[in-house]
Amino acid sequence: MIKIYHNPRCRKSREGLAIVEESGKPFEIIKYLENNLSRSELLEILNTLNINASELVRKQEAIWKSDFKGKDLTEEMIVNALLAHPKLIERPVVIYNGKGVIGRPPENISELLAE
């Protein structure tokens, strides 16, 4: 089953969801801003994407610029920031068959689902 970590207010996330819907495959929508991710869920996403926490951060968000930008942050500190401020998480994230992508650009999702 496909999992899409989705923010309905985000245009790119809505575009990603449309690609998932068009695939015809079963999927689950996880609205991570309404139901915060647990530490283990976030770490599992990072592991599946095979990226560092900093690569999942939306660096143009005001909270990142005001509280975190330019600081010497450890991986753990960035994970904690993402958990405390889920708005910082890039979106959408799509997981399928043990692999995952950040849906920016949305074509990443199409490529993942074609495998």
Domains of the chain, with CATH numbers?
2-114 (3.40.30.10)
Would the pLDDT of 115 be above 90? no
Q: Which of 10, 29, 73, 83 is catalytic?
A: 10
Arithmetic mean of pLDDT, 92-113: 96
47 included as an active-site residue: no
Q: Which amino acid is at 114?
A: A
Q: Indicate the average pLDDT of the chain.
A: 97
pTM above 0.75, yes or no: yes
Would the pLDDT of 35 be above 90? yes
Separate counts of helices (H) and strands (E) for the chain: 5, 4
